[in-house]
Amino acid sequence: MRVLLVEDDRMIGASVQRGLRRDGIAVDWVQDGSAAESALASTPYDCVLLDLGLPRKDGIEVLRSLRAKRNTVPVIVVTARDVVPARITGLDAGADDYVVKPFDLDELAARIRAVVRRREGRSASRIEHQGLSLDPVTREAHLHGELLALSAREFAVLEALASRPGAILSRQQLEDRIYGWGDEVDSNAVEVFIHALRRKLGADFIRTVRGMGYMLPRSP
Ligand code: CA
């Protein structure tokens, strides 16, 4: 997958480029609106990450002229914190999604995969449970339609529990699901992941069965 990153902040740009590359995404980085237009005119991208406040030509202008040319490449708008009008303007101008600075790189990568998949009209075999939806192919989790930012191991724990609602999985069983051979395992790693998942899903989503393990109740 090839992504055009349009970001004039060098620190953010460098870290996003590094982070996405680590996820196996090819990233071309430009730092102003005119350079973005040249890149878009010459290269087919799978997705564009577009900062709105840019030198030479601002992000909204770039987006509007892109859509005016009938270019339908998925665009994720990047906005500063709490700038609701900019977000709305971005979506109205044809953006597919937005992220707010500071954002989590895993979540950004997941959103990129999501807009690309949506554009391709693909679907996958999902695991559904109580408003939770897990996509084992893309490793994305949604709760009531909202994308959850989960680490790979948090996803694996949740996937193990959600694929068998009502079944109790011991700490050892969960460890076996999330660690490979030779991985170093902290003794309380599973508890840490469960804690993180409860923070994201709500305290009651995963039940502790004392002395036995964890489960997702069949009904709330
Ligand atoms: Ca900027």
Go through the domains of the chain in sequence order and give each one's CATH number.
2-119 (3.40.50.2300), 127-215 (1.10.10.10)
Q: Judge if pTM exceeds 0.85.
A: no
Q: Which residue positions in the chain have pLDDT lower than 50?
A: 123
C-alpha of residue 51 to centroid of ligand 1, in Å: 6
Cα separations (Å) of 136 from 50, 188, 199? 28, 25, 21
- CA 16 to centroid of ligand 1, rounded, Å: 14
Quote the mean pLDDT of the chain.
Answer: 87
Cα(142) to centroid of ligand 1, in Å?
A: 29
pLDDT at 182: 53
The owner of tokens 């897990």 is 134
Distance 107 CA to ligand 1 centre (A): 20
How many angstroms is it from 53 CA to the middle of ligand 1?
Answer: 4
* pLDDT number for residue 124: 53
- Over residues 85-140, the pLDDT tens digits come to 878 888 888 999 999 888 899 889 889 988 887 776 654 567 889 999 998 667 78
Q: d(Cα 212, Cα 220) in Å, to the nearest integer? A: 20
Beta strands 75-79 and 47-51 are parallel
